[in-house]
Amino acid sequence: MTTTIDLTGRTALVTGSTQGIGAAIAAGLARAGATVAVNGRTAERVDDAVARLREETGLDTFVAAPGDVSTEAGAAAVVAAVPTVDVLVNNLGIFGSKPALEITDDEWRRYFEVNVLAAVRLTRAYLPGMTGRGWGRVQYIASDSAVVIPAEMIHYGTTKTALLAVARGFAKEAAGTGVTVNSVLAGPTHTGGVEEFVYQLVDRSLPWDEAQREFMRTHRPQSLLQRLIEPEEIAHMCVYLASPLASATTGGAVRVDGGYVDAILP
């Protein structure tokens, strides 16, 4: 039996998709046939990303949707640019290491605004249309850190834990409508931002391959993959969850963590 994922005629929005995991998800959805709205904070960055994705994939099905969705005004601008969405991937997120007792109130608020409330805001905007049409997919890019809270960034881990609850709650709101809502627990992934994060924790003089191995050995020893995950590997799961093939998967926390979470269930 041949299995084909076909999202022709569907419109997807991937937040924070100018680079990294978000860009990989956008490319994957476009290759499956979807029209994909690329989102970032500025029009210039989004336009550059759209051009890069078109060149990378050979597809012209990318549209620009600039706006800082961690603010009400930015989210409204995105919704105005893309009023109808069939697949919403809430990928936007920030992370960084800091001793737990040094995280200020302002930093806690910022992490919650960007990592949680932005996703809630867009779900609130797009979910009614999906349920009204009887089909839709909402995804939240969470993290292994939602389950295994890192000592060096508990503010990040806490917001990702919150996303698991948000996904489960909105899945109940969409019950019986043909709309599925899931979170994706991404493991340690190789992106430009993560390279900088790795070098915050290991010797900067090490070549990248050695630095990556040292980081995984010292700070992520639970990984069964024993390497960083590539963004395209996260994207594969997101494309599947966006497809009709995943019609019975909802309210779940689906793991693409390289076996990092040491549990049968998340």
Q: What is the pLDDT of residues 194-227, one digit of tens each?
A: 888 899 899 999 999 899 889 999 988 889 998 8
Question: Is 105 found in the same domain as 26?
Answer: yes
pLDDT band at 59 (very low <50, low <70, confident <90, very high): very high
Question: Is 201 found in the same domain as 171?
Answer: no
Owning domain of residue 32: 11-189+230-255
Whether residue 1 is predicted with pLDDT greater than 60 in this model: the reply is no
Residue 4 lies in a domain: no
DSSP 3-state of 214: helix
Residue 261 lies in a domain: no
Question: Is 197 found in the same domain as 184?
Answer: no
Question: Is 114 found in the same domain as 144?
Answer: yes
pLDDT band at 266 (very low <50, low <70, confident <90, very high): low
Residue 260 lies in a domain: no
Rounded to two decimals, what is the model's pTM?
A: 0.94
Query: For 64-84, what is the mean pLDDT?
Result: 98
Could you give the CA distance from residue 140 to residue 242 in angstroms, rounded to a whole number?
Answer: 12
Spot the catalytic one: 156, 199, 240, 260: 156
Calculate the alpha carbon distances from 96 to 28, 196, 197 in Å. 27, 10, 7
Question: Is 117 found in the same domain as 28?
Answer: yes
Question: Is 154 found in the same domain as 219?
Answer: no
Question: Is 164 found in the same domain as 217?
Answer: no
Question: Is 29 found in the same domain as 128?
Answer: yes
State residue 108's pLDDT score.
Answer: 98
Mean pLDDT of the chain: 95
Question: Is 197 found in the same domain as 86?
Answer: no
Q: Is 256:237 a contact under the CB 8 Å cutoff?
A: yes
- Name residues whose C-beta falls within 8 Å of residue 88's C-beta, 6 or more positions apart in sequence: 12, 13, 122, 123, 126, 130, 136, 137, 138, 139
Question: Is 115 found in the same domain as 74?
Answer: yes
DSSP 3-state of 231: helix
Residues for the chain: how many in total? 266
Question: Is 197 found in the same domain as 185?
Answer: no
Query: For 118-128, what is the mean pLDDT?
Result: 98
Whether residue 37 is predicted with pLDDT greater than 90 in this model: the reply is yes
Number of domains in the chain: 2
Residue 72 lies in a domain: yes
Output the DSSP codes for 172-184.
Answer: HHTTTTTEEEEEE
Question: Is 208 found in the same domain as 246?
Answer: no
Buried/exposed code over 9-21 (b: 16+ C-beta within 10 A; e: otherwise): ebbbbbbbbbbbb
User: How many CB atoms neighbour CB 266 within 10 A?
Assistant: 16
User: DSSP secondary-structure letter at 230?
Assistant: P
Does 156 participate in catalysis according to the annotation? yes
Q: Is 211:202 a contact under the CB 8 Å cutoff?
A: yes
Whether residue 3 is predicted with pLDDT greater than 90 in this model: the reply is no
Residue 138 lies in a domain: yes
CATH number at residue 70: 3.40.50.720
Residue 141 lies in a domain: yes
Residue 264 lies in a domain: no
DSSP 3-state of 37: strand
The single residue listed with the structure tokens 């500025």 is 42
Residue 143 lies in a domain: yes
Could you give the CA distance from residue 4 to residue 151 in angstroms, rounded to a whole number?
Answer: 42
